Chain A
Amino acid sequence: MFDFLWPLFGRMHPLLVHLPIGILVFGILLCFLPKKENHDFLPTIRLAFLLGGVAALVAGLSGFLQYQFEGFAWEDVQIHLVGGISTALGSFWLYVQAKKSDRLDTKIKVSALGLGLVMTVTGHLGGTLTHGENYFTEVLPADFQSLLGAEIEPEKGPQLPEENWENAELYAEVIQPILNKNCKSCHNPRNKKGELDLSNLANLLKGGEDGLVLTAGDAEHSALFARLILPKEDEKHMPPSEKPQPSKEEIALIESWIKTGAKENQTLAEAGIPRKLIERFILKNQTPFYPITQMQPISADSLADLKSSGFFAEAVESGSGLLKITCTNFPEFQDKDWEKLAPVKRRLAYLDLGGTQMTDVLLDSLAGLPNLTVLKLNSTAISGNSLEKLAQLPNLKLLYLNKTQVSLSQIQALKASKSLQKVFAFDTPASTELPNAGNLNFPFLFEAGNYSLPKLPTDTIVY
């Protein structure tokens, strides 16, 4: 008949726990009160630990009942329970210690601190059980959250495929991701600013404090859109002016979605969304320009060595292990200087030896550079005779041979390359041969230059 008392007592756990916490914190604080004769407080401290222990026991009991009746999983409560019991036992133990001693020694102080720690952890675990894992972190700015190690995926916004983007769902794949990215931090089930939850369509349709936020077909009268286009100074402008703002395209997409009826199931094509509105959301399956490597960035010392040898040397981008090296201020570079570069062989991704004293001999070394992507040999003495060696380079994309002696037949030898995209040979025998060479079918773009702009009658008319 009075069976309900047990679960009721159980449900009081979240309330009861604050009793031991309060009393024990009071006791622990007293231990550290900066007072010369702090053992004056000793009787009070004893009492605090005794009462705290009793309260912890009662709270623990109610907690156990709650676990029994409310269907918590043992794995989830396990540590919390052990923590609670430890807190109760610890309090009693401290009470006994304080009773035995007539002054506050370090042992008591340290133990009191330890108790405080156990209690805090226990309390936090309990909080997590009732309020959820990221109760605290959720409200922190994203930067803080990641600082605390929380793995939050920043909302990326819409991401559409290059092909078939027309068939993507307007609401699910575009509008909701836009809301997630720009609005969800303030409009979600836990944090409902203006009583509005924008984390899914059903809740969006419920509206907020001031009623519905969406009138299908009428964007101007839908707060969901109208607030976005208010001037930033307007206090009703959304998102609040100091927060990151949605882009023009994102706002335009929300507008189009509302205008075309705010339908849940409708593709981009059906809604007549032009590609330019979603251009920025299209995942371009671009292969990176430079090969992907696991190399760490070069050490500052090695980089300084290269620079003091006369090279321009820098990572191709911040944090990359690959290097861009040029001889802009090192025209004296000769074949024997190669040894200065040999240690960073694997790192060379962009190499400009233009205008140096290098000769054909170096091509052997160049042909062994696994990551070389851009090679410039402009205005050097290479004859072109062993050019075919460069065809072996697995990653070479751009090859510059301007103002050298290379001929067309030598360039033909580069056809074997699987990676070459463009070869520049302006001002070479090859570029003069080209006009009479017929169809060459290079697998790469061959730029021979020799452009001119024929004179026009208008060139000399002065108005």
Chain B
Amino acid sequence: MNSLEKLFAELAVQKLQHQTRRHFLMDCVSKMGGLAMAPLLFGCEPGKLSKSTSGLQLSERDLNPLAPLPPPFLGKAKSIIYLHMAGAPSQLELFDYKPELAKYHDQACPESLLEGRKFAFIRGVPKMLGPQAKFSQHGESGAWVSDYLPHFAKVADEVAFLKAMHTDQFNHGPAQLFMQTGSARLGRPSLGSWVTYGLGTENQNLPGFVVLTSGGKTPDAGKSVWGSGFLPSVYQGVQCRSKGDPVLYLEDPSGMSRDLKKNVISAINQANQEDFETFGDPEILSRINQYEMAYRMQIEVPEVMNINDEPEYMHELYGTKSGEESFANNCLLARKLVEKGVRVVQLYDWGWDTHGTDHDGSIDMGLRNKCREIDRPMAALLLDLKQRGLLEETLVVWGGEFGRTPMQENREGKQMGFLGRDHHVDAFTMWMAGGGVKKGTSYGITDDFGFAGVDERVSVHDLHATILHLMGFDHEKFTYDFQGRPFRLTDVHGELIHSVLA
């Protein structure tokens, strides 16, 4: 076998591997019908039908997968900034004020709360842990925000709180995947990928979906939380760094001129184009496009990713220091990226997993430090978007992957050295602001312990349905065919949260 034959054989095998039972059944049904109909419609020439379907018709989208598309219906938002607090912040110290819980502080947790429940680390009967923060109401909306977030409290009128969020995953990895891809298992496209796939991107010199991380670690679930799953890989998030080269390996090696680079890329692309014409695999087009985009990005990315040109008062507002990999820098970058027409910007900040195992992971100290890191930047982000009129068309979402227990963690049944809370799936708080969100609202009510939502509960799918709606999609109609059936971000679930729509 020569090498070309080998390639063809490989392709044939791959093609077969992607044939599933569903394809087979579908083919049986549709082709049988076709067989029966063909002679009737085209006069006894059964070959005709299949010929017309095999001809390659390329759309603009095939040549440039990031080409913009109009939203199915008028969405209020055109971009998203999603602030994910990886590790899951405690709603009971930030937004969900539970004075009743304080009265039970240090008392044994009532059996009724534990019955039939499983926790990540809590064993036996733990003690209740009263709120460690001081709460007060803010703004015209009277939103409850604790003294852990004094700056954010001033912009509380801009946001809509979802206080009875719930999920069904109590480990970080699966819960982050669920929050970002709608499924706790690997393989589904992330929210950002769906949106980029659906709308393309406005700025052809920047990636459509940018990811920025801070806190020293990427999320437990790894890069799959911004992966493209079964969507073409061009829709996955592009991780940029706020410190050092913004995108690794984007810079040319010394001695390589821009012209030389251009020649190399056009030669590679030509070879790829020929490959595509032989095999018709759209992933090859993705590849061509990525080379071209990387070439354009070399100019534009270092420019937007540089915060040194921002005036001093911007640095004061956000609390940014150039050269750092901080949440503050990332917030400022997020604004710059959205201003430049990037569709989705996602910020992951690590360090919110406050179990009470050490000082940094304690509810009364470590958590305060984390809050200080995000408090000014996220308030600044909202104000900055607002003053530029960007909040009209940018949706900002904030939250972790789950919440934290009203009980004190007792790992292995023992009292811990610091105050901590375990992972909790039944209730946590998220907020949204900007394009199309009814500001100054609070939706969702939890019980007196903040243990579970009693009314206006919102599932992860409901949240996704609402985000997609704000971007101009009907989550039930926005599908992608894979393995012979259409897939949705919300699978078969999800209801719009009408009360938070403006």
A interface, CB within 8 angstroms of B: 247-248, 276, 279-280, 288-290, 304, 312, 314-318, 320, 326, 328-329, 378, 398, 400, 402, 422, 424, 426, 447-453, 456, 458-459, 461-463
Contact = CB atoms under 8 A, between A and B. Distances in A.
Interface string B293-322: 000000000000000000001001101000
Contacts of A449: 386-388
Interface string B139-165: 000000001001100100000000000
A310 to B, nearest CB: 10
B499 interface: yes
Contacts of A461: 372
B496 A280 contact: yes
Contacts of A452: 313, 316-317
Given A452-B313, A456-B151, A462-B369, A316 B499 contact: no
A157 to B, nearest CB: 13
B280 to A, nearest CB: 23
Contacts of A320: 70, 74
Contacts of B386: 447, 449, 451
Contacts of B313: 452
B340 A279 contact: no
A289 B499 CA distance: 20
A376 to B, nearest CB: 8
Interface in B372-424: 372, 376, 379-380, 383-384, 386-389, 392
A316 B70 contact: yes
A279 B498 contact: yes
A398 B369 contact: no
Interface stretch (B199-207, B240-248, B350-358): B199-207
**Most B CB atoms within 10 A — which of A312, A314, A400, A451?**
A451
> Which 9 pairs between the two chains have the least Cβ-Cβ distance?
A449-B387, A424-B389, A463-B365, A315-B70, A451-B383, A280-B498, A328-B341, A317-B74, A426-B387
B68 A328 contact: no
Contacts of B384: 451
Given A276-B499, A280-B496, A459-B376, A451 B389 contact: no
B69 A314 contact: yes
Given A453-B154, A459-B372, A328 B388 contact: no
A307 to B, nearest CB: 8
Determine the main DSSP class of A at the interface with B.
loop
Nearest to B476: A244
Given A318-B72, A451-B317, A451-B384, 12 more contacts: A247-B495, A304-B60, A312-B341, A316-B70, A317-B75, A328-B202, A424-B388, A452-B317, A453-B151, A453-B380, A453-B383, A463-B368
Nearest to B360: A463
B481 to A, nearest CB: 18
B203 A329 contact: yes
A312 B74 contact: no
Nearest to A452: B317
20 contacts: A248-B495, A276-B456, A279-B499, A280-B496, A280-B498, A289-B74, A312-B68, A312-B341, A318-B70, A318-B72, A326-B341, A426-B389, A447-B389, A448-B387, A449-B386, A449-B387, A452-B316, A459-B372, A463-B365, A463-B369
Nearest to B382: A451
Given A317-B472, A326-B341, A458 B150 contact: yes
A325 B499 CA distance: 32
A289 B154 CA distance: 30
A398 B392 contact: yes
B68 to A, nearest CB: 5
A326 B384 CA distance: 21
A424 B391 CA distance: 11
Contacts of A447: 386-387, 389
Contacts of A288: 74
B372 A458 contact: yes
A450 B316 CA distance: 12
Interface string B490-502: 0000011011000
B87 interface: no
Of B372, B376, B387, chain A has the most CB atoms within 10 Å of the CB of B387
A318 to B, nearest CB: 5
A290 B319 CA distance: 38
A53 B202 CA distance: 72
A193 B174 CA distance: 42
B187 interface: no
A288 B74 CA distance: 10
B440 interface: no
Contacts of A280: 496, 498
A165 B313 CA distance: 49
B436 to A, nearest CB: 10
Given A312-B341, A422-B389, A426-B388, A453 B71 contact: no
B151 to A, nearest CB: 5
B73 interface: yes
A328 B205 CA distance: 9
B501 to A, nearest CB: 9
B392 A422 contact: yes
A329 B205 contact: yes
B134 to A, nearest CB: 12
Nearest to B152: A453
Contacts of A318: 70-73
B418 to A, nearest CB: 11
Contacts of A462: 369, 372
Given A280-B498, A422-B392, A452-B317, A329 B387 contact: no
Given A248-B495, A312-B341, A328-B341, A398 B389 contact: yes
Contacts of A279: 498-499
Contact of A317 (B72, B364, B495): B72
A424 B379 CA distance: 19
Interface in B457-489: 472
B379 A453 contact: yes
B502 to A, nearest CB: 10
Interface in B66-86: 68-75
Contacts of A290: 74
Contacts of A276: 456, 499
B172 to A, nearest CB: 24
Contacts of A378: 388
Contacts of B341: 312, 326, 328
Contacts of A329: 203-205
B227 interface: no
B434 interface: no
Contact of B202 (A326, A422, A463): A326
Nearest to B59: A300
B37 to A, nearest CB: 17
A376 B388 CA distance: 11
B205 A453 contact: no
Interface in B337-369: 340-341, 364-366, 368-369
A74 B147 CA distance: 83
A40 to B, nearest CB: 26
A424 B339 CA distance: 14
Nearest to A400: B389
Nearest to B205: A329
A200 to B, nearest CB: 28
A317 B495 CA distance: 22
B195 to A, nearest CB: 15
Contacts of B369: 462-463
A280 B384 CA distance: 32
A245 B123 CA distance: 38
A242 B60 CA distance: 37
A231 to B, nearest CB: 14
Nearest to B151: A453
Contacts of A289: 74
A447 to B, nearest CB: 6
A414 to B, nearest CB: 15
Contacts of A426: 387-389
Nearest to B70: A315
B207 to A, nearest CB: 14
Contacts of A317: 70-75, 472
